[in-house]
Amino acid sequence: MSVVRDIAGNLLICLFIAAILYGITCAQAYIYYQSYPEDRPFLKWMVAGVWLLETLHTAFCIVFIYTYTITHFGDAPFLDQIHWSGGITVILGVLVAGLVHAYYIRRLWILSEHNVWLMVPTTTLAVARFAFGTATTVQCYTVAEWTKFHQRRLPLVTLAGGLSSAAAVDLIVAAALIYLLDRSRSGFKP
């Protein structure tokens, strides 16, 4: 029963959270297209690309949890198997993060007036996130069982490396944007 609780239970909770976030993404995309019809086509395509990747991610998350909780209900040995849709959800998340990180790194490049000392570590961490995430996807297909995935060092290193480098990029970007935007205030009081 612990496999059911540990695997299916955690995945179901994650799916609920992902569905809520997907709804927020849909609302943001809709508001963006309504509010900024004159934006550059590249930016509009990027928003559409992120939305499409998030839609696919959510769909494969549903396939993933449906397989475990409905199709193979009561099949405890199957719950230990890594379903093929799991790897797809990982790589789709990596692609979304890559697009978003690239956008914000470009914004930092412009706002920082081409500060190489800020860009090199941020870009390196973003590339590391992509590499670790891709390696985790490969591990989902080469390691057949969840228990082996959690026992082996390489899958855990790629997973932890990807998540921690993504968090580091997010923190650097947020801190740098706060600093740069605060520094560039015009002094205009509404």
Same domain, residue pair 95 and 177: yes
Q: What is the pLDDT of residues 141-189, one digit of tens each?
A: 999 888 899 899 999 999 999 999 999 999 999 999 999 998 887 766 6
Q: What range defines the domain where residue 136 resides?
A: 81-190
Same domain, residue pair 53 and 113: no
Same domain, residue pair 88 and 65: no
Q: Which residue has the higher pLDDT, 1 or 108?
A: 108
Counted domains in the chain: 2
Last residue of a domain, one of 26, 54, 80: 80
Q: How many CB atoms lie within 10 A of CB 65?
A: 20
Q: Long-range pairs for 18-25 at CB < 8 Å and ≥24 separation?
A: 18/57, 18/58, 18/61, 19/58, 19/61, 22/54, 22/55, 22/57, 22/58, 25/50, 25/51, 25/54
Same domain, residue pair 152 and 90: yes
Same domain, residue pair 188 and 94: yes
Q: d(Cα 171, Cα 121) in Å, to the nearest integer?
A: 12
What pTM was estimated for this model as a whole? Answer: 0.88
Last residue of a domain, one of 61, 80, 99: 80
Same domain, residue pair 6 and 28: yes
As a whole number, the mean pLDDT across the chain is 91
Residue 1 has pLDDT above 90, yes or no: no
Same domain, residue pair 102 and 67: no
Question: Which pLDDT belongs to residue 152?
Answer: 92
Give the length of the chain. Answer: 190
Question: Which pLDDT belongs to residue 11?
Answer: 81
Same domain, residue pair 133 and 116: yes
Question: Which pLDDT belongs to residue 28?
Answer: 96
Q: What is the pLDDT of residues 15-65, one digit of tens each?
A: 999 999 999 999 999 999 999 999 999 999 999 999 999 999 999 999 988
Q: What is the pLDDT of residues 70-94, one digit of tens each?
A: 898 878 788 888 999 999 999 999 9
